[in-house]
Amino acid sequence: MLRLWTLSGESITCPVEELEDVKALKRLLHDLHQFPPRFRQRILIDGRNLDDSAKLDPSVDATVVLQALQKPSQSEADSLAAAAECGSLSKVEAILQLPQDPDAPDRSGGRPIFIASLHGHIETVRLLLEAKADKDSVDHNGATALMGACCRGHLEVARLLLEAGVDKDAAGVDDGITALMLAALGGHTEVLQLLIEASVDIDTRDNRGDTSLMHAAIRGHFDAACVLLGAGCSIDACNGNGHTALLNASVTGHKDVVRLLLELRADLEVVDVEGMTALTSAALTGQLEVVALLLEAGADKNSTTANGHSALMRAAVKGQTDMVRLLVEASADKDTVDDGGCTALHFAANYGHKEIAALLLKGGADMNAANNEGNTPLMRAISIGHFSIVRVLLQAKADMDARNKSGCTPLMLASLVGDYKAAYYLLEAGASKNLTRDDGATALFIASLQGSAAVVQVLLNAGVDTDIALKNGLTALMIACSEGQILIATLLLEAGADKDAVDDKGFTALDIASWHGHAEAVRLLSEASVDQKPVSRAVGALSMRAPGPSSDQEIFWQMAAMCGAGFCIVALLAIPFYSRLQRLRRPS
């Protein structure tokens, strides 16, 4: 028997034959006599400290001395963390023998026991546990040692920690993630099984409301999902966004997990906060095989999201031709409308997906359906500039004279955006060329206003009426002159536009060109010998116009060339008077 003395004079007798060395003695003192861990014990014989590997001599009394933990510097704490990361037992042992606090974090906040567990160094973890490292301490991210081991799939480390009595259901401070969830995210089935056998809560949720099954599903870990489902986890649990495991697996395209969940009767029609089901989610992300599985299982092919989008619309938006074909063949409703009144064909037209538009038309989609603004798919294609869609719709005999709520026809919209090709094909297909909006504007007037000379030429070649006026009497020629569109005005004059037409105020194209200071337009109209019976009106327009880039002298000489010397005398007398008047008031 070995007799030990404490500094307080207490005597302890230990059976030496059962102890191999000093290390074993220290462990015995810890286990039976509540001494601190061996790293804080010193066994002295004649004042000499015995190494842990030293053999014991029962014939000699020894003294046991207890040492307080040393608060390490940051550098010393970093050294222990680095040794734990490398799994260097000798370095960890030496540092703990100082004795150094085993829980001191490194400069990034990492705890030695977490670092060793994360890297799978089981003996280092065992050593730190012996040093009474806090087994449930958290690092700067709120993760425990068990989470670190489970995250990387270190089965034996996880087993050791569970045997040490760690909190198996501890959750991350910031995200609420548990060790079970981390094992599910990594697809570590053996670790999952170990945790389940340790009676962890299999349906606990993280801060987003996700369960371990949802995590396994979104990562596509089939075997992990099998383990969790076999343990009886909730198959239809929803997170805060309304997502289930089935929706997670569907949106990410993990067909094996989807098939498993369908075989176990997962709810097909659960909707998330945006009104999306597994089917609409899969369609949105182009998961063709998953959509096929869901349709085969009886998913509602016409379900719509909170804003009215169906799976078919989503596929049309994304340009997923095969997905559209699958849904059309499954008899999905091709004319479902969203909150804006748009159908799948509207979306195909809007995004220029020619093949999808053709598929929808072949499937019987309503080519003339109007959205809430009254726009048909043809109108949308023209407005966006998708000429290939325009041709497809015209070949399908779409209504070329339909009007939207602004009163515009497809031809007017082509004029508005300056699409001469669309205008040409509309006219070739028989679109009415002289229809007017509520304000009296024709396609020609709109093209003239927009400065679309190419569209004007196409319209003139088709024989449009050049003199249809707005309700206020403005004609295409007048608006072209007011905007200084010389090329368009020339085209209109050559096509026989009435040079002498007047608006509801009695002004001609020449008056308007003068008013706006467009000297070239005045010259053009002058050379065309515009009939100017009320000469004074032209003078008035000249003098009252707002200042512009053309000079009064230039306008004056254009009018003089047209009207002769009589005009010169009147104008020379009038210009000073009107110049003073112009400074006093602007025209109403």
* Segment 191-200, tens digit of pLDDT: 999 999 999 9
Beta bridge partners of 423: none
Kindly provide the b/e burial profile for residues 324-363, where b requires at least 16 CB atoms within 10 angstroms of the residue's own CB. Answer: bbbbbebebebebbbeeebbbbbbbbbbbbbebbbbbbeb
Give the span between the Cα atoms of 334 and 377, in whole angstroms.
Answer: 13
The CATH code that applies to domain 428-526 is 1.25.40.20
In one letter, which amino acid is 432? S
Long-range CB pairs of 56-59, under 8 A, 24+ apart, other chains included? 56/2, 56/16, 56/19, 56/21, 56/22, 56/25, 57/2, 58/1, 58/2, 58/16
The per-residue pLDDT for range 388-401, each reduced to its tens digit, is 999 999 999 999 99
Radius of gyration of the chain (CA): 44
User: For position 579, what pLDDT does the model report?
Assistant: 42
- What CA–CA distances, in Å, run from 552 to 517, 527, 528? 8, 19, 21
Give the span between the Cα atoms of 373 and 376, in whole angstroms.
Answer: 9
CATH fold group of domain 2-66: Ubiquitin-like (UB roll) (3.10.20)
Give the span between the Cα atoms of 97 and 37, in whole angstroms.
Answer: 10
Instruction: State in Å, rounded, how far the first CA of the chain is from the last one.
Output: 121
Sorted by where each begins, the domain ranges of the chain are 2-66, 428-526
The label of the residue with tokens 């920690």 reads 161
User: For position 542, what pLDDT does the model report?
Assistant: 34
User: For position 529, what pLDDT does the model report?
Assistant: 58
Give the span between the Cα atoms of 551 and 443, in whole angstroms.
Answer: 33
User: For position 58, what pLDDT does the model report?
Assistant: 86
Which mean pLDDT values do the consecutive 10-residue runs of the chain (588 residues) have?
88 87 95 95 94 91 94 96 98 97 96 98 98 95 96 99 98 94 98 98 97 98 98 98 98 98 98 96 96 98 96 96 98 98 98 98 98 98 97 98 98 98 98 97 98 98 98 97 96 96 96 94 84 38 37 46 40 40 36
pTM: 0.80
C-alpha 253: how far from chain center: 18
